[in-house]
Amino acid sequence: MAGGAALAAVERIGVTVPRLSIRDAAHLTDAEFAEIDALCEGPFWKASHHEPLARHMVEPGMEVVLFRDDHDTLVGLTMVTVDRVDVEGRPEVAFSVLDTYLRPAMRHHEQAAMAYAVLSMRELFRNRGRAVYAVMPTGTYHGYELVTHTLATFYPRPGQEPPPREQAILDAVAERRFPSLLDRDRGVLVHPQNLAPEVVEIPEERMADPVVAFFAERNPGYREGDVLLCIARITWDVPLRNVIRWTASGGQAAKAFHPGPGKNPADAQQRA
């Protein structure tokens, strides 16, 4: 099922999906690349970093989910790839949620959660009868919180490392996509980046949250741009739970996730 059809399927059950579209990265226009560069350069990078990002981040087969506000302004994006890997003689399907950039507003995190739901539905439709996994390289504590908000079961999480099967799939995808960055022993991608301090720094009071503390412990190089590799098996309850949460909350599904007044929920999950 194509991305547009997955969006339509969600809307047919009475849910208005926030303004998002799934695009083949190879078909992005020059104007869209300019929008992406403006979004990515704005709040995420140190002032000394001026390199346009969009074109060199695009890889063959990559898709881009674009989030827009009510004024049609680009407020976020997620880059996605789908891999079919062989693990111990058995084929597995994994879609990878790569770089994610979100303007600091609660609604945009709702859009991201719904985007994950739509992508999950699409891959479940496409691969009926086969297990589907999501691989999520997560570079900030905001991103890790978004994973915990979107998925009930994922790895690594406090007290639980990936089971052997999930770890093998995670390793196979990471070795295919990020061979020069992968630190397999630590389960992270090592790639120094010029991220702005307000994006990566964890406020002292947030360290009291066991989820945030686990992210910092498991990925101690987050300030330099290291990315924690996460994985989850996707079943139908994952997208449906997010759709139901969105519907029941009247479109305010991310309230439980939002860090609260005065916190900066901007997220930059950096890949390469």
Those residues whose C-beta lies under 8 Å from the C-beta of residue 249, and which sit 6 or more positions away, are 255
List, for the chain, all residue ranges whose pLDDT scores fall below the cut of 70. Answer: 1-18, 41-58, 104-111, 194-195, 242-272
pLDDT at 5: 53
Q: Could you give the angle at which helices 141-150 and 210-218 cross, rounded to 10 degrees? A: 120
pLDDT at 239: 73
pLDDT at 169: 94
CA distance 169 to 94: 8
Tens digit of each residue's pLDDT (9 = 90 or more) over 35-50: 888 877 655 554 444 4
Q: Residues 20, 114: contact at Cβ < 8 Å?
A: yes
pLDDT at 155: 95
pLDDT at 49: 44
The tokens describing 36, both together, are 């992406």
Report which of 42, 60, 41 is spatially closest to residue 52, judged by C-alpha positions: 41
pLDDT at 78: 84
Amino acid, res. 228: L
Exposure of 91 in the CB half-sphere (CA atoms within 13 A): 6
pLDDT at 267: 37
Parse the chain into domains and list their residue ranges.
Answer: 3-269
pLDDT at 172: 94
CA distance 254 to 252: 6
**What is the Cα 152 distance to its own chain's centre?**
15
CA distance 20 to 65: 7
* Burial (Cβ within 10 Å: 0-12, 13-18, ≥19) of residue 192: exposed
